[in-house]
Amino acid sequence: MHIKIGAVGLGRLGRLHAENIAFRISQAELTAVCSIVKEEVDTVKSSWNIPYGYYDFEEMLQNKELNAIVIASSSTEHCRQISQALAAGFHVFCEKPLGVGMEEIRLAQQVVTKHSDKVFQLGFMRRYDTSYAYAKKKIEEGFIGEPILIRCYGLDPVSAINGAIAFAENSGGLFSDMAVHDFDLARWYLNSEANKVSAIGGCYAYQEFARYGDIDNGAALIQFKNNTMGIFYASRTCNHGYHIETEIVGTKGSVRIGTVPYKNLVTITNEQGVTNECVCDFLERFEVAYLNEIQNFVDCIIHNKKPDITVEDGVKSVEIAYAANKSLATGQTVYLD
């Protein structure tokens, strides 16, 4: 059995998802691609021999050969496209964040709940990264006792700053666009929901973000309902590369993932001294996780299973991001229900 997939969004990440589906995911076929950028569709369709190409999402949904839709369009499009794809009878995988406004997110949640016979999975790929999954297993096996604190660094390379500025208008802001991954991890590792959120930050290097009410560096301190703690730092101006670091501290020990973001195991010694290169971007760091998550989506469709990552994970993580935005804007601690 092969799941025929239509992929929407062929930008930085969407193109990789499309390529994975076309060549690396078992029991899947990339049957259609869609983007509002005509050249992206034409290039992918002709160079990979894809049967159908669309410049309009709703037109792709008319194609009843398809079984599932993978959404990697701009974050502002997610909620609408999720609802339309489910209503048209397709299984749906959607990139994070679930959406960029609480109202549209809650509506999308209702649609996902209504179509519970369909597989819906959200793109929190870190949970499918081998190191993050291993850390979860170690915690569950009791290696660090009871988790009491999570510390997360999510630092994007400054080399990608122009793209981040161009993307800022549609990203939902630093906490929603970047730290949302960390908020999801915190809920996953600490087994609890956020209770109160305090955030600070600003435009320290790139004033351009202020135009969209956004920041280039921000931090949040969160207390969870089970009294555990979270410390979060997100930045768009990391000079050494792409640095995603997470530590979970327990009553008897701790686990750390990605403490030094080495590119690989190669150490170079030359006139500059002894150096290890840094991971350059999300595509490199999470290459395997992006594959694993889509394979899981396809496997769930084939074996009639539900993915571990639900629409509620999408809602709860964005709720935290919005609480952080509110705290940043008001200077007050924000309490969640």
- Provide the minimum distance between the beta carbon of 174 and ligand NAI in the complex, in angstroms, as a whole number: 12
Q: What angle do CA 99, 256, 288 make, to 5 degrees?
A: 55
Q: Which is nearer to ligand NAI, 144 or 186 (CB)?
A: 186
Is 248 a binder of ligand NAI (CB under 6 A)?
A: no
Q: What is the dihedral of CA 3, 69, 89, 76, to 10 degrees?
A: 170
- Provide the minimum distance between the beta carbon of 81 and ligand NAI in the complex, in angstroms, as a whole number: 7
> Within positions 150 to 189, which residues make up the interface with ligand NAI, using CB under 6 A?
167, 177
For residue 92, give both structure tokens.
């749906």
Q: Out of 96, 127, 151, 236, name the contact with ligand NAI by CB under 6 A.
A: 96
- Provide the minimum distance between the beta carbon of 166 and ligand NAI in the complex, in angstroms, as a whole number: 8
- Provide the minimum distance between the beta carbon of 336 and ligand NAI in the complex, in angstroms, as a whole number: 22
- Provide the minimum distance between the beta carbon of 159 and ligand NAI in the complex, in angstroms, as a whole number: 15
Q: Which is nearer to ligand NAI, 140 or 284 (CB)?
A: 284
CA atoms within 13 A on the CB side of 123: 25
Q: Which is nearer to ligand NAI, 73 or 121 (CB)?
A: 73
Q: What is the dihedral of CA 159, 164, 165, 170, to 10 degrees?
A: 170
For 11, 20, 121, 131, 156, the CA distances from 284, given in Å and listed in that order, are 16, 14, 22, 14, 13
Q: Out of 8, 32, 155, 257, name the contact with ligand NAI by CB under 6 A.
A: 8
- Provide the minimum distance between the beta carbon of 271 and ligand NAI in the complex, in angstroms, as a whole number: 36
For residue 96, give both structure tokens.
């994070």
Q: Which of 48, 44, 36 is nearest to 170 (CA)?
A: 36
Is 34 a binder of ligand NAI (CB under 6 A)?
A: yes
Neighbours of 274 (CB within 10 A): 8
Is 216 a binder of ligand NAI (CB under 6 A)?
A: no
- Provide the minimum distance between the beta carbon of 282 and ligand NAI in the complex, in angstroms, as a whole number: 5
> Within positions 261 to 290, which residues make up the interface with ligand NAI, using CB under 6 A?
282
Q: Out of 4, 6, 7, 14, name the contact with ligand NAI by CB under 6 A.
A: 14
SS3 state at 1: coil
Q: Which H/E stretch holds residue 157? A: strand 147-157
Range list of H helices, 68-101: 78-87
Q: Which stretch binds ligand NAI (CB under 6 A): 9-17, 196-204, 221-229, 329-337?
A: 9-17
CB distance 164 to 272 below 8 Å = no
Q: Which stretch binds ligand NAI (CB under 6 A): 29-37, 146-154, 210-218, 298-306?
A: 29-37
- Beta bridge partner(s), residue 5: 30, 68
> Within positions 35 to 74, which residues make up the interface with ligand NAI, using CB under 6 A?
35-37, 40, 57, 72-74
* Ramachandran category for residue 236: left, alpha or beta (phi over 0 → left; psi -120 to 50 → alpha): alpha
Is 127 a binder of ligand NAI (CB under 6 A)?
A: no
HEC-encoded secondary structure of 8-66:
ECCCCCHHHHHHHHHHCCCCEEEEEEECCCHHHHHHHHHHHCCCEEECCHHHHHCCCCC
> Which residues are near ligand NAI by CB under 6 A?
8-14, 34-37, 40, 57, 72-75, 77, 95-96, 123, 125, 167, 177, 282
